[in-house]
Structure 1
Amino acid sequence: MIPILRVAAAAACLPALLSPLAGHAAADDRQARVWAATCAACHGTDGRAQAGMTSLAGRDAGELYTLLSEFKSGVRPATVMHQHTKGYTDDELKRLANWFAAQSKN
C-alpha cells in the first residue's frame, strides 16, 4: 500500500477508535452487554426482572443513567447498588443505561 493511503486509511478509522459506540447501536454494544450480564441476578436477563425487582429493559436511558449516577455518588440510598456502580466510569454507566433502554420490555 502506498504510504499516503495508509495514513488516509488510519485517519478514517480514528473516529471508531476514539468512540466505543461509533457505528453501533446501543443494542449492539457488546461490552455493555457483558457488563449488563452482572445485573441479571437481581434485574433479570436483559433487564426484564421477575416480580419484586425493578425491570430495567426499555426504560428511558437518561433516567437510568441518572439513577446509576445517583447510586454511584451516594445521593440515592441503596443496599448494594452504590457498591456496584462505583466500579464503572460515567461513560460505562451511560453505555449500560443505553443498552438496557434498547432492550424490549417483554
Structure 2
Amino acid sequence: MSCAVAELAAEWAMLDDHVAALWMTEDGPSPLLLDERRLTIEAQAVKLTPQSVAGAMFIAWLVGLHASIANDEDAGQDERSRHLEAAVTGSRSLARYLAGRLPLPEAS
C-alpha cells in the first residue's frame, strides 16, 4: 500500500538536503523558494493519515517540531498559535493511524 505521507517525507528530505547546501553557497536556486516548498510539504503531511510506519514517524517528528516551536517564548503569539494548531492536527492524524493498527476485539 502506498503512503502519501511517506512520499512527502522523502520529498521533504531531499529538499532539506538541498536547502542546507544552498545556504552555504550563492549558486543555484534560491534556498527560500525550496524552503517554502518544504514548509508546504509539512503543512500537507500533518493533515494526512499515514498508511505506513515511515509516514507515521514523519508525522510524529513534525508534531514534536511544531510543539517545540509553539512552546518557544521568543516566537510571536501568531507563530506559536499556528505551530500549536499544526501539532494538534498532526497528533490527530497520528492517532487515526494508530487506532487503525489496533487489533479488533474478539467477538464473544
- TM-score, structure 1 as length reference: 0.29
Higher helix share goes to which structure? Answer: 2
TM-score (structure 2 length as normaliser)? 0.29
